[in-house]
Each structure stands twice: as structure tokens, then as C-alpha cells.
Amino acid sequence: MRLTLRVWRQSGPEAPGHLAEYEVDGLSADMSFLELLDVLNERLALGGEEPVAFDHDCREGICGACGMVVNGRAHGPEPTTACQLHLRSFADGEVVDVEPWRAAAFPVVKDLVVDRSALDRVIGAGGYVTAPTGSAPEAHATPVPAADAERAFADAACIGCGACVAACPNGSAALFTAAKVNHLNTLPQGAPEADRRVLSMVSAMDAEGFGGCTSAGECARACPAGIPLPTIAAMNRAYLRATRRP
Amino acid sequence: MAVTGAVMLAYLVAHMLGNLKIFFGPEEFNGYAHWLRTIGAPVLHHGWFLWLLRAGLLTAVVLHGVAAYQLTRRARAARPVRYAHRRARTDYATRTMRWGGVILALFVVWHLLDLTTGTVNPHGRPGQSYQNVVATFGTWYGNAVYGVAMLALGLHVRHGLLAAARSLGLAGARAERALRATGTGLALALTAGFLVVPVAVMTKVVS
């Protein structure tokens, strides 16, 4: 199959960028979207041109390294990561726009690569448990209700790719922060620091220049890990509770 | 946003129910309008309750607007470079919150000049609320302005109620569906409840 790509090219953080058009043919519908970029880059390199820079690592949808906005959707039309998106999701001959995550907190490094350190700093503000835990404890030592375990698991599925921010009309990181707050706050290991965690992670999120949540719900629709939207409400509940307590 | 929105929503429900008294005739409706001024008597002086209510509502409207402005400014700053590939994001009610809110604010100004002060009302006599309402909805522009505003209100409430519940942390995974249904139900009830008055005037049920 053949696709016309319009890819965001930007040589550096301060350089002006533009959408460059590339015709790529001889593609298989079974290729992943990143393999499409590999094919394009191979041809660009052979022609003496600079290949398109993009982030990628595991290519099996679990690391959160890859991420690009394909036809206006974070990670493209399928509810998965860009590496797990396949060309069968596109029509032969389709024009496909490929852009980096757009957010003030995610400055473009080059082409489709953005700096997502802002998310790491939100984690650094409290997305961990400070108690030294030693080696893995006996599994039944601390009982956890099944419903809590399920909720913590659902939130812990976040791979930190930043698609929620890219998809949000307000550029908000509320879904990411909520997932990271709640998966610890829900469990007994994280509970003692629950108040401090939510207050400090939310203030770190605001300090990074992310927008505010207006409940548009685009984040949860774009999330490749299926983080549910109500997790934001749970974070808000924890936040309000924490501000009321001394 | 959530708290001020909830204050205004509670007022709107009472306002809509009160409006329905128009179907009991001019004496009953004008009597109801007069009674509103006597609430709280003899502790409160004539009309004080209404002025306290107006002060509370004005505070809610201003704070709601300021919060919306701040959220919009933050959103613009958080995405300085927009996507080249544009597509409609989210549903219609969510997308129209900002401009819908502006439309509602402008409507409130007109509505007060029309039926509170009577400045732009074709009849415009104090104490004759029933006749004033009939006069407004006897004009094509009165019906048009009111109709557009009530549709905007329905859309605003449909997204707003659920969003407010989420902001206040009330919308858990289980409550989400019930809150969504409540938001849609309340939006429909308010829009229908408010629109039934101009429709009744147009069809001469109220005249």
C-alpha cells in the first residue's frame, strides 16, 4: 500500500518547524506505524536526507516511549500506542498527518521527539513510597480488599507516555497525575503519605504549566493503558480531603 | 467553577418551577411574584430576600466567569502551538461550554432589562409580571433570544453538572453513570420547563 505522510520537521528546540510531505509506497498493511517511519527514514538516509527523529523503545506498547499525534489523535486512530498501531487502520493512498505532542510543558527536542521530563518531575514530587521496604514481603502479610487492588492496578497501568496531555484540549496532565497519585494512595503501603502525596504532586503538576481539567474526557479516550476518567474525580476527592485536614 | 455552578443550578431549578405558575393565570402569577418580595417577613424588610438572593447570584456569576477566564488562559498557555490537523474534539456540549457561557451571560443581561427592570420590555410595568411575560413572548426577537439561550443552558448544564461533580470528587466509578443521567435529565427538564412558557404564549394558551 501507499501513504502520503505530512511529518512535522524541526531541526532543534529553537528552530522553526514545518510539515514536510513524503510519499511512501511498497508498504504492508501489517507494518506498525513505527515501521512505516523506519521505511521512510531508510529512504531518507539513502537519499542523503536527515531521517525523522522519533522516540521509541520496547515497540510492544508497554514502555511509553513512543508517542506522536497521527491525524489529530494521540497515538493515532486505535486505542493503543503508536508502535502497536498498524497500517491496516489506514486506507490505501490516505494522507496522514504526523505531529509531536503539543504542550508548553513538552518542548520539542527534534521533529517528533518532545521532552517529557515534566512528567518525571511530577512523579518526583511524591509518586513513590518513602518507607524502606526491603525485599518483597510475603504476599498475604498486608491484606488488600479485592476492589482496592483492582483500582490500584487499573491506575498503575499508566505507562507515562503523555498521550493524555497531547489529547486534552486544555493540555492538562490531570489523568496522568491522578493515575500516579491513586495507584499508591489506594494501597496500604501508600496510604500513610496519601495527603502529602496528592498535595505535592498536584502543585508540581500546576508548576509545570499544564492546563486545568475541564472534564472534556479526551485523555481517557486517547489513553493506550485504558486509565478510566473517574480516576481524576478520585484525585480531586483526595485533594479536597487533604486540604481540609491539618 | 463547581461550587458557583451548583449555586446557580439550584436557583435555576427554583426559577423554572416558579415560572410554571404562569399556567394558573395572571392573579396567581403576579401574586407569586409579589410573594417573592415578602419572603422572610417580618424579619426581613420588603424585597430584602430578593436583594440578598441577587447579591448571592451576582457573586456566583462573577466568580464563575473569573474561574472560566482563568481556566481558558491556562489552557491557551499550556498549548502555545496548536495542531495542524484539526478535528472536532469531545462532544458538542463540552466544546460549547466557553461560548455557551458567554451567550448565557449576555442573555442574563437582556433578561434582567426585560423582565426585572422592564427597560426593554414592550409592556414593562412593575407588579404586572404576567403581562410583561406575555408582551416579551409576543415579539419574534423575544422568543428567538430566549429559545437560543435555553438551548445553550441545556447544553451548559449537561456538561456542567457532571464536570462539577468530578471537580468536587463526587463522581466515583460507580456514581459516574448516575451523575451523567442526572445531568442530562436536569438539562432536559430545565430547557423544557423554561421553553414551555414562550411556547404557551405563542400558542395563546397563556395570553
Cβ within 8 Å, pair B75-A239: no
CA distance A127 to chain B (A): 20
Residues A45 and A122 in one domain: no
Q: What confidence score (pLDDT) does residue A245 get?
A: 85
Q: B19-40, pLDDT tens digit by residue? A: 999 999 999 999 999 999 999 8
State the ipTM, two decimals: 0.90
Q: B86 in a domain, yes or no?
A: no
> Is A93 an interface residue toward B (CB < 8 Å)?
no
Residues A10 and A106 in one domain: yes
* CATH code, domain with A179: 1.10.1060.10
B166 burial (CB, 10 Å; 0-12 / 13-18 / 19+) is: buried
Average pLDDT of chain A? Answer: 95
Cβ within 8 Å, pair A229-B176: yes
- Give the residue numbers spanning the domain of A76: 3-110
Cβ within 8 Å, pair A216-B168: no
> Is B87 an interface residue toward A (CB < 8 Å)?
yes
Residues A12 and A65 in one domain: yes
Residues A157 and A194 in one domain: yes
Task: Give the rounded percent of residues in chain A with a pLDDT score beyond 70.
Answer: 100
Residues A14 and A129 in one domain: no
Residues A123 and A220 in one domain: yes
Residues A187 and A157 in one domain: yes
Residues in chain B within 8 Å Cβ distance of A172: 75, 78
Residues A66 and A122 in one domain: no
Q: What confidence score (pLDDT) does residue A58 get?
A: 97
How are beta strands A3-9 and A95-99 bridged, if at all?
parallel
> Is A99 an interface residue toward B (CB < 8 Å)?
yes
Q: B160-204, pLDDT tens digit by residue? A: 999 999 999 997 777 888 999 999 999 999 999 999 999 999 999
Among A97, A105, A233, the residue with its CB nearest the CB of B169 is: A233
Count of the separate structural domains present in chain A: 2
Count of the separate structural domains present in chain B: 1
Q: Which residue of B has its CA nearest to A221?
A: B90
Residues A235 and A167 in one domain: yes
Cβ within 8 Å, pair A71-B80: no
Residues in chain B within 8 Å Cβ distance of A233: 165-167, 169-172, 176
- Give the residue numbers spanning the domain of B129: 2-81+91-202
* CATH code, domain with A102: 3.10.20.30
pLDDT surpasses 90 at B90:
no
CA distance A7 to chain B (A): 11
Q: What confidence score (pLDDT) does residue A221 get?
A: 95
Q: Which residue of B has its CA nearest to A154?
A: B173
Per-residue pLDDT band for A246 (boundaries 50, 70, 90) equals confident
Q: Which set of grid coordinates corresponds to residue B152?
A: 445553550
Q: A151-165, pLDDT tens digit by residue? A: 999 999 999 999 999
> Is A71 an interface residue toward B (CB < 8 Å)?
yes
Per-residue pLDDT band for A176 (boundaries 50, 70, 90) equals very high
Residues A35 and A78 in one domain: yes
Residues A37 and A126 in one domain: no
Contacts 24+ apart (CB under 8 A), B127-135: B127/B30, B127/B33, B127/B34, B128/B30, B129/B29, B129/B30, B129/B33, B130/B22, B130/B25, B130/B26, B130/B29, B130/B30, B131/B26, B133/B22, B133/B29, B133/B197, B133/B201, B133/B206, B134/B201, B134/B206, B134/B207
pLDDT surpasses 90 at A107:
yes
Instruction: Give the DSSP per-residue string, A165-188.
Output: HHH-TT-B-HHHHHHHHHHHHTST
Residues A103 and A15 in one domain: yes
Q: B27 in a domain, yes or no?
A: yes
Cβ within 8 Å, pair A170-B86: no
Q: Which residue of A has its CA nearest to B177?
A: A230
CA distance B172 to chain A (A): 6
